[in-house]
Structure 1
Amino acid sequence: MRKNSIKNTRINSEVQRELSSIISRELKDPRIHPMTTVVSVEVTPDLKYCKAYISVLGNEEAAKDTIQGLKSAVGFVRTQLAKRINLRNTPEITFILDQSIEYGVHMTRLIDEVTENLRDSESGDEEENE
């Protein structure tokens, strides 16, 4: 896979910023969860396609509903993006559910549980030695 050029990196960050703004302020679909975040955006070098990775803070059903709402509003989102960013082509947007943040939170909880169990067992050992 090719490294992103500086131009492509700038386009990705600009598209990400505008998508975040459009999703949070412009869309009125009740399916879209208020805690929806655009984690990252990958625009192809020819500016034809865009993958937008979306994270939803909520349960699985809220995440699925949000993705459905975004997919149904993709035409409106693309139109708004075209008005806000002056690109040769306005990319076709594909919304992808990104669960990396949820996974990270889950792993942190597991690590905390293990360390707490270790502390509890160590304090139990010290009481037995005394």
Structure 2
Amino acid sequence: MLEKKNTRKHRISKEIQRKIAIIIHQKINDPRLGMSTISGVELSRDFSHAKIFVTFLNKNTQKKINTNIFILNNSAQFIRKILHKSIKLRNVPKLTFIYDNSLIQGERIDKLVRSIY
């Protein structure tokens, strides 16, 4: 029974990830965002909240990253409404956008490993 819930949760989070990526690229008309990538979605147990992990290309400064996260969080309600129309869920989760710095940390670790050899 537990496995079935986890696979359902995984399927729903992947579908939300795909739909939100499309919505951001097609419906959000803010030139400050540039190229953004949805790297993951983490759903709460009851599917009422979703953390949306996002990365930005060519946005290296913390100020630009914070601005983009602010823009996305301010657009969360709009994105949620469009998501509600395009996905068949009883309740669409509340969206919170979080910057995913795993790419930067991975590059830093890669440089450290290469410096050893």
Q: Return the TM-score normalized by structure 2.
A: 0.85
> 1:96 aligns to what?
98
Q: Return the TM-score normalized by structure 1.
A: 0.77
Letter in 1 for 2:46: D
Provide the rounded CA distance (Å) in 1 between the counterparts of 2:41 and 2:47: 12
CA RMSD of aligned residues (A): 1.8
Letter in 2 for 1:37: T
Provide the rounded CA distance (Å) in 2 between the counterparts of 1:70 and 1:10: 23
> 2:22 aligns to what?
21
Letter in 2 for 1:48: S
Provide the rounded CA distance (Å) in 1 between the counterparts of 2:11 and 2:20: 14
Identity of aligned residues (%): 31
Whether the aligned pair in 2 keeps the contact of 1:49 and 1:93 (CA below 8 Å) is: yes
Q: How does 1:77-96 map to 2 (within 5 A)?
A: 77-96=79-98
1:81-112 Cα offsets, whole Å, 9 max, x none, are 10110100011001111101111112222333
Provide the rounded CA distance (Å) in 2 between the counterparts of 1:24 and 1:62: 18
1:52 matched to 2:86? The reply is no
1:27-72 Cα offsets, whole Å, 9 max, x none, are 11123132x1111101223221111111123212321121011011
Q: Which structure 2 residue ranges, 5 or more long, are not aligned?
A: none
> 2:112 aligns to what?
110
Deviation at 1:79, TM superposition (A): 0.8
Q: Name segments (4+ residues, structure 1) moved above 4 Å.
A: none
Q: How does 1:32-47 map to 2 (within 5 A)?
A: 32-34=33-35, 36-47=36-47
Provide the rounded CA distance (Å) in 1 between the counterparts of 2:78 and 2:108: 34
Aligned length: 113
